[in-house]
Amino acid sequence: MSITVYVPQDAVALGLGANRVARAIFAGAERRGLDVRIVRTGTRGLLWLEPMVEVATSEGRIAYGPVTPGDVEGLLDAGFVEGGAHALRLGKPEEIPFLAKQHRLTFHRCGVVDPVSVEDYRAHGGYRGLEAALTCEAEGIVAQVRDSGLRGRGGAGFPAGIKWNTVMLAKSDQKYVVCNADEGDSGTFADRIMMEGDPFNLIEGMTIAAVATGATRGYIYCRSEYPQSFKTLRDAIANGVKAGVLGDNILGSGKNFHLEVRLGAGAYICGEETSLLESLEGKRGIVRAKPPIPALKGFLGKPTLVNNVMTFTAVPYIMEHGAKAYAEYGMGRSLGTLPIQLAGNIKHGGLIEYAFGITIRQVIDEFGGGTASGRPVRAVQVGGPLGAYFPDELLDTPLDYEAMAANKGLVGHGGIVVFDDTVDMARQARFAFEFCATESCGKCTPCRIGATRGVETMDKVISGIRPEANLKLVEDLCEIMTDGSLCAMGGLTPMPVMSAITNFPEDFRRAGDLPVAAE
């Protein structure tokens, strides 16, 4: 009787030795004469338990983790292939509290299915959304997306329905759907987990978008730092074409959608939609001025729908279960679920898909289990390197677009990075400028020159060279960059800087005023 063992091949798991674990299981099973079939999956997102190995038993899947290659012999001896007891036994993964408390509307198949198998995807409920969409008119699909309250999950939070509507109404001989898979924010990995764990969810979402907007070609722009995602997507797309869910006449509908995955080349700025389009066209990835908006003049000058991975992957659920079902989750004008990525100095980091409205403190305490170091949390940065640093007083802010903005923060792509009390916030402010200087496309002056001057001025503050005057200069510079920059990278770099200065003022005055001669 064949036993199925699931070993993740997500990048985190690979980094922690999952391939060697798989080989050890295979070899060990063979030696014991066990008929074991290994399926490589994505990750369930409980990253501190990776590599998390699961085995299919009569009572369902049983998980073990974190498994190192050295643990394999012991596990085999303990009969893990039948769900036997072992120190690493976690029980049913869906009963692990970290996972059980989540609202996995989008991520429920990650770590469960064989990512590149169309059959496995359909067996787990996949393509019901597309089938529903193919029975609607384009306007009907767009109405559902609009009524669901789905907002762009890349960070801008722009209502997806409005963007889809604009592209749908645009008149052109050719339209495109482009997925922004450049996930460049430090501390984020939701897109990667999805692309490596359940790529057909993204493919299905993009296909629905193509049907709704009238696009016949699509591109996934995947950052070059995600080679596993690139490979997984490519293999999934190839299988999709063979199965008739991509290419000409998808699912016999008479509609065409040709999808390709393209690689970036190491530029954070290409996560900005117009730079992304420039890069996709084979040009230098610099930001375009708007108007015109990409929805009207995008890829090769044609109407183009650009959305984040998470935005597209929410759509199959919406089409299958209806806009109202999705809108039942969340609060205020932030409806549906947010894929929160918890990282940094945290005990239990990973992917937490939860309805909007949960507070930052709840995420850190109830899911994260506090810092990894055990020391108190001092600062939390939400929304990536351009997000604000919140002190303890602000940790009760709910994860909601408007509530975060009201406290001068942002939700962004949903990344949360935790810092304990050893963090030097002046260095973090300097890092914000340094990151901008490294990644700046160089087109607009506030960012091209301002970021570099910001680093230099922060250095002066940190060394105690006329700190008050230079802090004032930093604040003036922040105004220039916020109001003057061409895109959100220069425009939001001041957010972490000013939040650090405002919320942690003591870190900026440690050196004291040095005598003039020291300059």
Partner 1 sequence: MTLIKEIDYGTPIRLNEQTVTLTIDGESVTVPAGTSVMAAAMHMGTKIPKLCATDSLEPFGSCRMCLVEIEGRRGTPASCTTPAENGMVVHTQSDKLHRLRKGVMELYISDHPLDCLTCAANGDCELQDTAGQVGLRDVRYGYDGDNHVKPSSDRYLPKDESNPYFTYDPSKCIVCNRCVRACEETQGTFALTIEGRGFDSRVAAGPTNFMQSECVSCGACVQACPTATLQEKTVHEFGQPDHSAVTTCAYCGVGCAFKAEMQGDRVIRMVPYKGGKANEGHSCVKGRFAYGYATHKDRITKPMIREKITDPWREVSWEEAINHAASEFKRIQAKYGRDSVGGITSSRCTNEEAYLVQKLVRAAFGNNNVDTCARVCHSPTGYGLMSTLGTSAGTQDFKSVEESDVILVIGANPTDGHPVFGSRMKKRLREGARLIVADPRKIDLVKSPHIKADYHLPLKPGSNVAFINAFAHVIVTEGLIAEDYVRERCDLAEFESWARFIAEERNSPEAAQAITGVDPQAIREAARLYATGGKAAIYYGLGVTEHSQGSTMVMGMANIAMATGNIGMVGAGVNPLRGQNNVQGSCDMGSFPHELPGYRHVSDDATRESFEAIWGAKLDSAPGLRITNMLDEAVGGTFKGMYIQGEDIAQSDPDTHHVTSGLKAMECIVIQDIFLNETAKYAHVFLPGASFLEKDGTFTNAERRISRVRKVMAPLGGYGDWEGTILLARALGYEMNYSHPSEIMDEIARLTPSFTGVSYQKLEELGSIQWPCNEKAPLGTPMMHVDRFVRGKGRFMITEYVPTDERTTGKFPLILTTGRILSQYNVGAQTRRTENSRWHEEDVLEIHPFDAEMRGIVDGDLVALESRSGDIALKAKVTERMQPGIVYTTFHHAKTGANVITTDFSDWATNCPEYKVTAVQVRRTNRPSDWQAKFFEEDFSLTRIAEAAE
Which residues would be at the binding site for partner 1 (CB under 8 A)? 267, 269, 284-286, 289-291, 437-453, 456-457, 469, 473, 476-477, 479-480, 483-486
Nearest distance from residue 508's CB to partner 1, in Å? 17
Neighbours of 260 (CB within 10 A): 12
Nearest distance from residue 439's CB to partner 1, in Å? 7
**Best CA proximity match to 187, nearest among 340, 30, 401:** 340
Residues 280 and 178: beta-carbon distance below 8 Å: yes
Q: 32 or 284, CB closer to partner 1? A: 284
- What proportions of the chain, in percent to the nearest 5, are helix, strand and coil? 45, 15, 35
Nearest distance from residue 398's CB to partner 1, in Å? 24
Nearest distance from residue 437's CB to partner 1, in Å? 6
CA distance 197 to 218: 20
Rg of the chain on CA atoms, in Å? 24
Nearest distance from residue 37's CB to partner 1, in Å? 48
Cross-strand partners of 159: 151
Nearest distance from residue 122's CB to partner 1, in Å? 42
Nearest distance from residue 463's CB to partner 1, in Å? 13
Q: How many CA atoms lie within 13 A of 123 on its CB side?
A: 9
CA distance 393 to 377: 11
Neighbours of 81 (CB within 10 A): 22
Tell me, what amino acid is at 85? Answer: A
Q: 148 or 493, CB closer to partner 1? A: 493
Q: For the chain, count helices (H), then strands (E).
A: 22, 16
Phi, psi of 449 (to 5 degrees): -95, -35
Nearest distance from residue 442's CB to partner 1, in Å? 4
Q: 438 or 502, CB closer to partner 1? A: 438
Q: 97 or 292, CB closer to partner 1? A: 292
- DSSP 3-state of 271: helix
Nearest distance from residue 266's CB to partner 1, in Å? 10
CA distance 322 to 235: 30
- DSSP 3-state of 461: helix
Residues 115 and 198: beta-carbon distance below 8 Å: yes
Nearest distance from residue 390's CB to partner 1, in Å? 24
Please name the residue that has the structure tokens 């996949």: 126
Q: 224 or 438, CB closer to partner 1? A: 438
Tell me, what amino acid is at 487? Answer: C
Q: 252 or 282, CB closer to partner 1? A: 282
Measured in whole angstroms, the distance separating CA 328 from the mean position of its chain's CA atoms is: 23
Q: 423 or 441, CB closer to partner 1? A: 441
Q: 81 or 441, CB closer to partner 1? A: 441
CA distance 222 to 443: 23
Tell me, what amino acid is at 286? Answer: I
Q: 63 or 471, CB closer to partner 1? A: 471
CA distance 6 to 52: 9
Q: 383 or 490, CB closer to partner 1? A: 490
